[in-house]
Amino acid sequence: MASVFSMIVAGEIPCYKVAENDKFLAFLDINPVMPGHTLVIPKREVSYIFDMPDEEYVEFELFAKKVALGLKKAMPCVRIAEAVIGLEVPHAHIHLIPINNEGDMNFRNKQSLSGEEMSSIAARIASEIK
């Protein structure tokens, strides 16, 4: 069965997209730990990030870097933190999270923003990605 993220790639379920190219996609986490919390995924379904071949992994990180630079401009913060967890969704992904202190990176503090807020945040981030 396809992962929930592969269903997003296929357009079978919606997402708040912030960037994509032919290989990778970035969209808002549906339950952000901070506003602007973004997930970056390979479009190809690969379960575990560290199983990716080196070349693909490097390209993936470079795409995530581009997203992180735009995210920092769109959501003013001290740093964009990057995390890999992968316990919930078996499709490789990088979490990019705007943080001002260590406590902002709290995966037990998931939020739920309105669809309007999510759309507006996604559009703001997308407009800052070069």
Q: Which residues are known to be catalytic?
A: 93
Residue of 45, 51, 37, 46 lying closest to 95 (CA atoms):
37
Name the residue nearer to ligand AMP (CB basis): 89 or 126. 89
Chosen residue from 3, 6, 30, 57 binding ligand AMP by CB under 6 A: 30
Residues within window 43-82 making contact with ligand AMP, judged by CB under 6 A: none
86 touches ligand AMP by CB under 6 A: yes
Rg (alpha carbons) of the chain, rounded to whole number: 14
Question: Do 68 and 76 touch, CB atoms closer than 8 A?
Answer: no
Six-digit token pair at 126? 């997308």
Please state, in angstroms and rounded to a whole number, the distance separating the CA atoms of residues 54 and 60.
Answer: 10
* Nearest distance from C-beta of residue 47 to ligand AMP, angstroms: 10
Q: Which residues bind ligand AMP (CB under 6 A)?
A: 4, 13, 15, 29-31, 39, 85-89
